[in-house]
Amino acid sequence: MKCRELADFLMDYVSGELPQESRAHFEFHLTKCKNCHEYLVQYEVTIRAGKVACDEMSDEIGNIPEELVKAVMAARTKV
């Protein structure tokens, strides 16, 4: 397996959907190729980072613009 194929199989690998045989080739490549190992780690970090950054309870919880509050309340009285 070449680095290029390993990159193609990453998603199936991290979701556990890579068939047994490909998985063995994938993991064998990882033992020899530090660069691909690093790429796999960063791919996984990226997925997790996205989840944490957008977590509902996280800090982005911006405030709602005053004009949107007004628009929502105005629309409500029309219902």
Partner 1 sequence: MASATPVDDEATLVAQLRAGDEAAFEQVVRAYGGRLLAVARRIVGTEEDARDVVQDAFMNAFKSLDRFEGNAKLSTWLHRIVVNAALMRLRTRKRKPEQSIESMLPSFLDDGHHEERFQSWDEPVDKLMERAENRALVRQQIDALPEGYRTVLVLRDIEGLDTEETAKVLGLSVNATKIRLHRARQALRTLLAPHFRSAAS
Shortest spacing between CB 21 and partner 1, in angstroms: 19
- 10 binding partner 1? (CB under 8 A): yes
DSSP 8-state code for residue 65:
P
Q: Which residues contact 9 (CB under 8 A, 6 or more apart)?
A: 1, 18, 22, 26
- Total interface residues for partner 1 by CB under 8 A: 44
Q: Give the binding site for partner 1 (CB under 8 A).
A: 2-5, 7-8, 10-11, 35-36, 38-39, 41-54, 56, 58-66, 68-69, 71-73, 75-76, 79
